[in-house]
Structure 1
Amino acid sequence: MALAAMHLAYIKPEQEAFYIGQADFHHDIALEMGTSELQNITKENASSIYLFSLLICIISCARSRRSDNFWEVSDRIIEWLNLSRGTVSILCSDTQSKFLGEGPLAPLFILGYRKSLAWEARPAYNPQFLVDLRQVLEETVQDPSELQCYRESIENLGKSFATISEIGSQSCETTDVFMWLVRSHDHYLYLFHQRKPEALVIFGFFCVIIRELDWTWWMQGMGSHLLQGIYIHLGEEHRCWLHWPMQQLGLVPPCY
């Protein structure tokens, strides 16, 4: 019901406020019901809980994207990610995986698992824009653990860019795009929450990958929205680090 209301808000912008209110009402009820089931996953409800986490993602991304609510949008995505991580960690146990593998969502679950293995197996991909990003971080970040976190995030970005390049934009699915976010280390997400400029810049490069989902109504324009929000938040020194992603999304930064 919440997802349907969000879709109506999208196709009937003149009634957006009403439908978003309806979406919030149903979303809050579902969230309370769904999260209470996370500690009691059975063969009967495993598929429902898995779908629950996916719908939470879609609803979070579908909400309005005004220029003044960048952090509201980005924090919702991270909140969804934290919820999904909790769900996935439970479902990935041997018993719960068997439930999904034998249930009605088995084809979806198996496809996602195969995509994950393919993503992990891809060799290092080092286009010049990632080489440049890595170099500037090596020269500026002093904390060793923080720097290592950024190195891993950039390496994973390379895998995701290689994935998009290999399968092509026309065949790109949500799993291909969100793989980087799902595989991001908890430390990186913490740094993003702390508004660390370097973490924000790395996320800015991920926004180029997000653009591959502009064909969906609920992700349309999300990459540009998030990148613009990051650019506005950063100081002059770090804004210039975003030149490549800004250029790719047609948002020419006024610093050279």
Structure 2
Amino acid sequence: MSLHDVQSTPGLNLLDLELLHNYTTSTANTLHTDPAMKTLWKINVPQLGFQYDFVMRGILALSALHLARYRPEKKELYNSQAMLQHQIGLRQATNALTEINEENCTGVYIFSALTLFFTVATPRKPGDFLLVGDNSIADWLALVKGTSFIVETSPKILFNGSLGPMFSAGRRRYELREKLLAEEAPEDSPLAELHQLINRSTVDRQDVTIYLAAIDSLRKSFVTYPGSGQGPTFEPADVFIWVFEGNHSFLELLRQRTQESLCIFSYFCVSLRRLDSCWWMEGWATHLIARIYHLLDEEHRLWIRWPIEEIGWIPS
């Protein structure tokens, strides 16, 4: 090789290589509790990243946030790289979503999952409310909900593809939750008292219907909650099932910060608390319950005593 050849050879992007190495050796192991799913996130997802640029950018963005957390001396570098990679990937994935097909649906779906992790792992601001902003539902949630139809319209492709084990495990978990829900008496749920309070005191019956539907959906997260008497291991999917299934009517009431919707949201925070040992979720439960408490009047603060005690937050 001549000197000219050496000088004209493109240099390696060592930062990208560092981020990919960190993802495969460390970050991927933090995204699930099941060993098989850890392997899927470590092996199958990066393989999708080599097929779809936006998936690889989602991987690098999440890895950068992970490194920023544990290497504070380079925090600014990693955080800025995380934002850059995610913004580029988001633009590409959004374009792909408008032209979804059998070839790219798997890539778009896993990018939405990476976006969920990226969102909760991003350093919080004091006013962050996770699911909704001041004017609409959160952008990340809109993307996640926008990809939900992929599962409905392309189930064979997803189940037979590289993410097949993920969807098979999700189906088994869904069947377990449905079985436990059928066995649990509604009055035994931690949500039973809140259900009664809203049903008795809320004047607008149309809103009551929305609130009670949200509570019934939230039971899916609580039916595997430790202490429910049911016994199975609690998994991350048990938390986010409520987010994925939440209807726009409830999210709009939450955006308006109605007292009842805030109380329901506080119970969701109890589920989030179960993931507090995960670096990407740490602190969200206490952050949100504090925000909710200060938005409630004195009467409705009494409604959320159980979530406050479960989370272990002390009002100041």
Q: How would you bin the TM-score normalised by the shorter chain?
A: 0.7 to 0.9
2:132 is equivalent to residue 75 of structure 1: yes
**For residue 163 of structure 2, what is the aligned residue in structure 1?**
105
Q: CA deviation at 1:208?
A: 0.6
- The separation in 2 between residues aligned to 1:13 and 1:198, in whole angstroms, is 40
- The separation in 1 between residues aligned to 2:177 and 2:190, in whole angstroms, is 20
Equivalent residues of 2:69, 2:75 under 8 A apart: yes
**For residue 200 of structure 1, what is the aligned residue in structure 2?**
262
**For residue 44 of structure 1, what is the aligned residue in structure 2?**
103
Matches within 5 A, 1:89-238: 89-93=149-153, 96-121=154-179, 122-123=181-182, 124-127=185-188, 129-164=190-225, 165=228, 166-168=230-232, 171-238=233-300
Equivalent residues of 1:2, 1:26 under 8 A apart: yes
* AA at the equivalent of 1:92: E
Equivalent residues of 1:116, 1:179 under 8 A apart: no
Equivalent residues of 2:250, 2:261 under 8 A apart: yes
Once the two structures are superposed, residues 99-134 of structure 1 have per-residue CA deviations (whole angstroms, 9 ceiling, x without a partner) of 111111101011112322333342253337422212
- The separation in 2 between residues aligned to 1:218 and 1:184, in whole angstroms, is 22
- The separation in 2 between residues aligned to 1:218 and 1:150, in whole angstroms, is 29
TM-score, normalising length from structure 1? 0.88
**3-state SS, counterpart of residue 75 of structure 1:** coil
**For residue 86 of structure 1, what is the aligned residue in structure 2?**
146
Larger Rg: 2
Please tell me the root mean square deviation across aligned C-alpha atoms, in Å: 2.1
Residues 1:188 and 1:65: Cα distance change in structure 2 (over 3 Å)? same
Residues 1:107 and 1:146: Cα distance change in structure 2 (over 3 Å)? same
**3-state SS, counterpart of residue 239 of structure 2:** helix
- The separation in 1 between residues aligned to 2:250 and 2:178, in whole angstroms, is 18
Equivalent residues of 2:189, 2:219 under 8 A apart: no
Residues 1:229 and 1:160: Cα distance change in structure 2 (over 3 Å)? same
**3-state SS, counterpart of residue 26 of structure 1:** helix
Equivalent residues of 2:65, 2:121 under 8 A apart: yes
**3-state SS, counterpart of residue 154 of structure 1:** helix
Matches within 5 A, 1:21-36: 21-36=80-95
- The separation in 2 between residues aligned to 1:44 and 1:128, in whole angstroms, is 43
* AA at the equivalent of 2:141: L
**3-state SS, counterpart of residue 70 of structure 1:** coil
* AA at the equivalent of 1:87: T
Residues 1:192 and 1:13: Cα distance change in structure 2 (over 3 Å)? farther
Q: CA deviation at 1:189?
A: 1.1
* Aligned-residue identity in percent: 37
Equivalent residues of 1:141, 1:147 under 8 A apart: yes
Equivalent residues of 1:160, 1:179 under 8 A apart: yes
- The separation in 2 between residues aligned to 1:184 and 1:65, in whole angstroms, is 23
Q: CA deviation at 1:218?
A: 0.3
Counting matched residue pairs gives 248
- The separation in 1 between residues aligned to 2:67 and 2:193, in whole angstroms, is 43
* AA at the equivalent of 1:79: D
Moved more, 131-140 or 222-231: 131-140
- The separation in 2 between residues aligned to 1:205 and 1:174, in whole angstroms, is 16
Once the two structures are superposed, residues 72-114 of structure 1 have per-residue CA deviations (whole angstroms, 9 ceiling, x without a partner) of x443784322211110113311xx2111111111010111123
Equivalent residues of 1:214, 1:221 under 8 A apart: yes
**For residue 252 of structure 1, what is the aligned residue in structure 2?**
314
